[in-house]
Amino acid sequence: MVLSGDILIDIFSVLIAIFVIAIVFFKRRYSHWKNLGVEYLEPTIPFGNYKPSYFQAKSIAEIWTEFYDAMKAKTAKHAGWYFFHLAVYVPMDLDLIKSIMQTDFAHFTDHLGYVNEKDDPLSATVFSLEGQRWRNLRMKLTPTFTSGKMKLMFPIMIKLSEELIETLRKECGNSPIDAKDISARFTTDVIGNCAFGIDCNSLRDPNTEFRIKGKRVFSLTPVEMLSNFLSFLFPNAMKFFGVRLFPKEATDFFLKVIKDTADYRQTNNIRRNDAFQLLLDMLNNEGKETDNTLTFSELAAQAFVFFIAGFETSSTLMSFALIELSLNEDVQNRLRDEINEVLRKNNGELTYEALSEMRYMDMVISETLRKYPPLPTLSRVCTKDYQVPNSEIQLRIGDGVMILVRGIHYDPDIYPDPHKFDPTRFSEEKKSKRHQFAFLPFGEGPRICLGKKFLLTCVVYDALFFLGLRFGLMQAKVGLASLIKNFKFKYNPRTPYPIKCDPKSFLTSAQGGLWMDVQKIDSE
């Protein structure tokens, strides 16, 4: 190649050319929604509308809620969002959301996600898989996690809830307690027992390896956060370079635990009433795929997702519920009265049936999930060209769709005074007057959690992506019932209120912890 006399000028010219091409590319991309006549906010090259969250000035929950409010002010039925170079469709109207998530589900069967089975086998979860592979796996798992089989694990929860009470009795006193820490230690022990058959002892020792590796799954380094970020933008390129979704030392640990547990049970012919046994019963030892078996890789991925569902979702739900109860003494007292009344009718025992009688508990949990949905948004991918109803907009295969859950949950036209914690919003009468898709803490439609049938016995929860959600909600109710019966919780000013979402987390997570003062009831 012949260069001009000054190499620096040549290099500078190339850089200028690349810069100009990039500007032209983004300018063209950023005219997409304008050309379609769809409302949008002016994007910033190259971040689109994502800049505040990328630099962690705001959490993803905040910027999506602000976007929802801006589009709602324009009375938009749908809107457009720019995620770097990607144009994402945002339905605003609840009937339109219902069309996408339920009525016309065949056009939106997949989530926005990243799967790299070769380098990161635990990424191939029931949430992340696409198309026919997702359908096949879901058909295998759906009949397995029934209410009756979940009930078999209930005694494990009760035993560990007793340890939770004893631990908190020892730790409460003059110092405030971090609700997230104590909740996560409880859910780690329950999930460790039920998903892996391991006594984790996190309540007794917060620094056990299982607890540390569990936290590591969600505690990403800046490099890992960047690689995860790029995985969603350029999935094919990231697969080529072998990028992993989860930290290697954490997934290696869980893979070893899963393999060792499976080998031990099969070699010694040991059976337990836990979730791992349900998956193990489906393992195809001969490696021949059938309708009723799992491969080992599938088993490992689902056991892992069962863990992260039951661990993170439940501990987050418990901790946010506790902090709101500490701020709302009247709600806490009413819940305690219900718990004590139900227990009196059941000979003082917290049974599976007793738990389902706690209607106000269900209302408290629903209101907590409204204010603090685990995921502030839900994603879909257009898998078949789709004509948006009552519009001239056509979505193409591969187009991303984002449902703004937190924005809907904080819409004052749906939930008056949305920042107020008010469980009575979820009385049967008030629920019956709201749109079915006005409450979406775990999604809706066919691509829902495997736990919907169980939850119909209390409040109708619709699904997230995690197969362990049904179990996670059950253990959250056990944990809350045990704690509220035995302790009084009071707000500690160490917790800033209103609660700020952590800008480093894609899940709804509090920044700086959730601190409370705890008082033993039996000490009065």
Closest C-alpha to 448, from 122, 127, 124, 172? 127
- Mapped onto helix, strand or coil, the DSSP state of residue 277 is helix
Report for 13-27, 151-165, 321-335: range of highest mean pLDDT: 321-335
Q: How far apart are the first and last CA of the chain?
A: 87
The residue count of the chain comes to: 524
Q: In this predicted structure, what is the pLDDT of residue 286?
A: 46
Whether residue 272 lies inside any domain: the answer is yes
Closest C-alpha to 275, from 133, 157, 374? 157
Q: How far is CA 312 from CA 94, 181, 472, in A?
A: 28, 11, 9
CA distance 425 to 415: 8
Q: Minimum mean pLDDT among 377-381, 397-401, 502-506: which range?
A: 502-506
| Run of H or E residues at 150 | helix 147-151
Whether residue 12 lies inside any domain: the answer is no
Whether residue 448 lies inside any domain: the answer is yes
**pLDDT, average across residues 227-242:** 78
Are residues 221 and 213 in contact, defined by beta-carbon separation less than 8 angstroms?
A: no
| Parent domain of 58 | 21-523
At 264-282, the pLDDT tens digits run: 888 898 888 777 887 788 7
Q: Minimum mean pLDDT among 32-41, 134-143, 379-388, 500-509: which range?
A: 134-143
**pLDDT, average across residues 155-174:** 92
CA distance 332 to 516: 14
Higher per-residue confidence, 118 vs 321: 321
Provide the pairing of β-strand 39-40 with 78-83: parallel
HSE of 160 in the Cβ direction (CA atoms, 13 Å)?
30
Q: The tokens of 482 are what?
A: 């045990």
Whether residue 154 lies inside any domain: the answer is yes
At 480-497, the pLDDT tens digits run: 999 999 999 999 999 988
Q: Say what percent of the chain tops pLDDT 90.
A: 46
Angle between helices 314-327 and 179-196 (to 10 degrees): 150
pLDDT band (50, 70, 90) for residue 125: low
**pLDDT, average across residues 396-419:** 96
Whether residue 144 lies inside any domain: the answer is yes
**pLDDT, average across residues 397-425:** 96
**pLDDT, average across residues 400-426:** 97
Q: Minimum mean pLDDT among 18-32, 51-65, 118-132, 442-456: which range?
A: 442-456
- Residue found under tokens 């193990």: 280
Are residues 470 and 157 in contact, defined by beta-carbon separation less than 8 angstroms?
A: no
Whether residue 333 lies inside any domain: the answer is yes
**pLDDT, average across residues 289-315:** 73
At 283-293, the pLDDT tens digits run: 754 445 555 56
Q: How far is CA 416 from CA 293, 420, 422, 430, in A?
A: 48, 9, 10, 12
CA distance 450 to 208: 30
Q: The tokens of 165 are what?
A: 């009470």
3-state helix/strand/coil string of 136-152 = HHHHHHCCCCCHHHHHC
Q: Say what percent of the chain tops pLDDT 70.
A: 85
Distance of CA 474 to the CA centre of its chain: 16
Give the CA angle between residues 506, 507, 512 to the nearest 5°.
95
Higher per-residue confidence, 212 vs 278: 212
Q: How far is CA 25 from CA 22, 31, 101, 398, in A?
A: 5, 10, 32, 19
- Domain total for the chain? 1
Q: Strand 378-381's sheet: what is its strand order?
A: 39-40, 78-83, 86-91, 400-403, 378-381
Are residues 332 and 488 in contact, defined by beta-carbon separation less than 8 angstroms?
A: yes
The CATH code of the domain that includes 484 is 1.10.630.10
| Run of H or E residues at 400 | strand 400-403
Whether residue 14 lies inside any domain: the answer is no
- Residue found under tokens 């959301």: 97
Closest C-alpha to 511, from 410, 403, 308, 372? 372
pLDDT of 38 > 90? The answer is yes
Q: In this predicted structure, what is the pLDDT of residue 216?
A: 83
CA distance 86 to 233: 8
CA distance 414 to 193: 40
- Mapped onto helix, strand or coil, the DSSP state of residue 50 is coil
Note the pTM of the prediction, 2 decimals. Answer: 0.87
Report for 139-153, 192-206, 221-235: range of highest mean pLDDT: 192-206
**pLDDT, average across residues 455-468:** 32
**pLDDT, average across residues 464-481:** 73
CA distance 277 to 7: 66
Q: Is 458 annotated as a binding residue?
A: no
pLDDT band (50, 70, 90) for residue 176: very high
CA distance 515 to 33: 44
Whether residue 113 lies inside any domain: the answer is yes
Q: In this predicted structure, what is the pLDDT of residue 451?
A: 39
pLDDT of 456 > 70? The answer is no
- Residue found under tokens 């049938």: 453
Counting other chains too, the contacts that 226-235 makes at CB distance below 8 Å and 24 or more residues apart are 228/114, 229/54, 231/114, 231/116, 232/112, 232/113, 232/114, 233/83, 233/84, 233/85, 233/86, 235/114
Question: Largest Cα–Cα distance in the chain?
Answer: 93
